[in-house]
Amino acid sequence: MTTAIEVKTVNKEFVLRHTRSIKEALVWLIRGRKGDLSEKFHALKDVSLDVQQGETVALLGFNGSGKSTLLKHISGVMIPDSGTVQTRGRVAGLIEVGAGFHHDLSGRDNVYLNGAILGMTETEIDERFDSIIEFAEIGQFIDTEVKFYSSGMYLRLAFSVAVHTDPEVFLVDEILAVGDEPFQRKCIAKIKELAADGKTLVVVSHDLDLVAKICERGVLMDHGQVIFDGPIDDAVDQFRQNS
């Protein structure tokens, strides 16, 4: 079996507050600048996770448990403070709607921009362009600047570009929620198709019934730590018990 994603003892802290009152800053100066003035939040604590090629994994957990932060580390948009993340093959997906899109460019130009960011050559994008537009159902808006798109239209185009990159590893955050129901169904069908084709899938969702249908493995997170990792039905049961 080949490992597609290897996350090793990853830690991530966020700075919550940079500024302090003048009094606090004075005390800090008088004490010889000891300690840290900023308040920090430990979002991922020694997280380790191996995902084999072709596995379908759901990240579960309450709001703020670290799911999206972990997904961003896997996608490479975030760098860990310590620990390592390695992925094999082309990684694509939907983490933040509109990430990698330029507001002042048209949908058409953004397909090229986003496609290039995700590792496609210009010829590959040329070949897949019609299919990308057809899947997104953007129609006559393709030459409109994307700043005038609704959030659903953004999602359609971003999702369509991402699936057309033919990724080995596909990451999906909760964002499917902004799409209307027919488009959501279409995306879910596409995600299932990718899974059936043996692609590696990591999905963040609060829709437990949906992830139970798509994924075989569930990773339950709590306060930045993995507290359960096993078959999806067991992970969902455990999560429901904690709720």
Nearer to ligand ATP, 190 or 206 (CB): 206
Out of 47, 67, 200, 219, the only residue in the binding site for ligand ATP (CB under 6 A) is 67
3-state secondary structure of 186: helix
Distance, CA of 206 to CA of 227 (rounded, Å): 17
Of 194, 168, 6, the residue nearest 90 (C-alpha):
168
User: Which region among 18-26, 46-54, 59-67, 139-147 touches ligand ATP (by CB under 6 A)?
Assistant: 59-67
100 binds ligand ATP (CB under 6 A): no
19 binds ligand ATP (CB under 6 A): no
- Least Cβ distance, residue 105 to ligand ATP (angstroms): 25
Stretch of 58-66, 83-91, 116-124, 193-201 lying at the interface with ligand ATP (CB under 6 A) = 58-66
Instruction: Give pairs for 239-242: CB < 8 Å, separation 24+.
Output: 239/60, 239/61, 239/208, 240/208
**Letter for the amino acid at 83?**
G
Span of 25-33, 66-74, 128-136, 182-190 interacting with ligand ATP by CB under 6 A: 66-74
39 near ligand ATP, judged by CB under 6 A: no
Among residues 68, 75, 114, 160, the one that binds ligand ATP under rule CB under 6 A: 68
Mention every residue, 6+ apart, whose C-beta is less than 8 A from residue 50. Answer: 3, 5, 6, 7
Does residue 65 touch ligand ATP according to CB under 6 A? yes
Least separation in angstroms between residue 12's CB and ligand ATP is 8
Find the binder of ligand ATP among 39, 41, 134, 185 (CB under 6 A): 41
Please give the backbone phi and psi of residue 59, each rounded to the nearest 5 degrees, phi first.
-95, 120
Of 4, 7, 43, 195, the one binding ligand ATP by CB under 6 A: 43
Q: DSSP 3-state assignment of 57? A: strand
Rule CB under 6 A: say whether 61 interacts with ligand ATP.
yes
CB 57 within 8 A of CB 212: no
Token digits of residue 110 = 């953004």
Residue 109 exposure: Cα atoms within 13 Å on the Cβ side: 11
Q: What is the contact surface with ligand ATP in residues (CB under 6 A)?
A: 14, 41, 43, 61, 63-69, 174
